[in-house]
Structure 1
Amino acid sequence: MESSRKLRADAQENRDRILTAARQLFAERGLGVGMREVARRAEVGPATLYRRFPTRRALIDEAFAVELGLCGDIVETGCADPDPWRGFADVVERLTVLNASNRGFVDAFMAVEQPEDVFAEHRSRLLTMLTLLARRAQAQGRLRADFIIDDLVLVLIAGRGLATVGADTRDVAARRFAMLAVDAFRHQDANVPH
């Protein structure tokens, strides 16, 4: 019985090390990192990695589960704001900062849908929510009338480059980038602070 518990503890430790290594590598270098590289960083054999995560997709889904939850929380909080422009501006800033800290997350979130893709369902739900928030901000007269949700997607994709900025200045750069994007989204006659 004791050896059985130890084996389970060892298996959990290996799983945790694999996820930590995958998160670090994906954040640093994006999704182009190979499974063998993840195994090396985790100091486990490839067979151990594939036993815990039989597919690359399974590893990606699990590695970004926290970010996916944070992303959902950001969008839900912004959509719940009674001031749609303030909610919209907050979403742009917070998503930009989140995405700047992890090169691989935006790649995974925006990747072409695969069957049973965890990200596809979340992406569809969050983009629908953001579209409704944007319409409310447009009706309020604060968001430019020609805004479409693809404009926000473009800003988030462009923000991937922020991951290459030094860690000590990345947050400041991400907030500045978000501020410039929000200013570009602002209706021209809406000369009020966000």
Structure 2
Amino acid sequence: MSSSQLPVRAAGNLRSDAGRNRAEIVSAARAVFTEAGTDVPTSRIARRAGVAVATLYRRFPTREALVEAAFADQHADCSRFFSVVEQHPEPWPALRTALRRFCAEQARDKGFTAHLLAACLQGRAPAGAAATSALEAERLTALVRRARDSGAMRPDVGLTELHLLVAGNAGVVAASPPDQAAAASRRFVELFLRSLEVPRRSGAGDGVR
């Protein structure tokens, strides 16, 4: 067979394969990050996706690019959620809702919550989607400020206390049997949130402050 008769793979097929490889890598990265966080070796993600490590790096030259692609949907969901709670007329209930959701997600997904925590509560942009994470951090900070200004949340509460909440919740989840982790997390979060509230004065005559 002459060189002119050799079968030639269509450019469209090459693009189709590249697109499938990319989708498989993103799906594998999302699953692995959820299970074990974002510091896992890229070789583990490549194995999960069924591609060579070299193929992974051709599609995603840096870990930051891979993290950004893996968490794109979660960031979009987070942005939509913030848009809803920001419209709530009472900022403290809105903040409680946001923290409950975040901690519930933390019990299920190790990757995205750690990624978002770094930006929102630790003051640094994590690898990937830095601009998006920074915006989410600003929105959370504004929500905390509004909750304090409303008088419903203690004036000495800030992002440091929220970091303690999330770090403590991570410990509760890690220490609990898998089938009990979600319930233990909910209990811990409710107890912690109560400690952030300004105590209500009870009715006169009951002697309680």
The aligned counterpart of 2:46 is 39
2:155 is the alignment partner of 1:145: yes
TM-score normalized by the length of structure 2 = 0.77
Deviations 1:52-102 (A, max 9, x none): 111111111111112222222233322210111211111111111223221
Q: Which runs of 5+ in 2 are unaligned?
A: 1-7, 203-209
- By relative contact order (CA 8 Å, sep 6+), the higher-ranking structure is 1
- What are the equivalent positions in structure 2 for 1:95-114 lying under 5 Å apart? 95-109=102-116, 110=118, 112-113=124-125
Q: Which runs of 5+ in 1 are unaligned?
A: none
SS at match of 1:80: coil
Deviations 1:119-142 (A, max 9, x none): 433333223222322232223221
Alignment RMSD, CA only? Answer: 2.6
Which structure has more helix as a fraction of its residues?
A: 1
User: Is the 8 Å Cα contact of residues 79 and 136 (structure 2) preserved in structure 1?
Assistant: yes
User: Is the 8 Å Cα contact of residues 21 and 42 (structure 1) preserved in structure 2?
Assistant: yes
Larger Rg: 2
2:77 is the alignment partner of 1:70: yes
Q: 2: CA distance between counterparts of 1:98 and 1:175?
A: 11
Residue of 97, 116, 131 corresponding to 2:141? 131
The aligned counterpart of 1:4 is 11
State the one-letter code of the partner of 2:136: L
Counterparts in 2 of 1:156 and 1:73: CA distance versus 1, 3 Å: farther
TM-score normalized by the length of structure 1 = 0.82
Percent identity between the aligned chains? 33
The aligned counterpart of 1:175 is 186
Aligned pair count?
189
State the one-letter code of the partner of 2:188: F
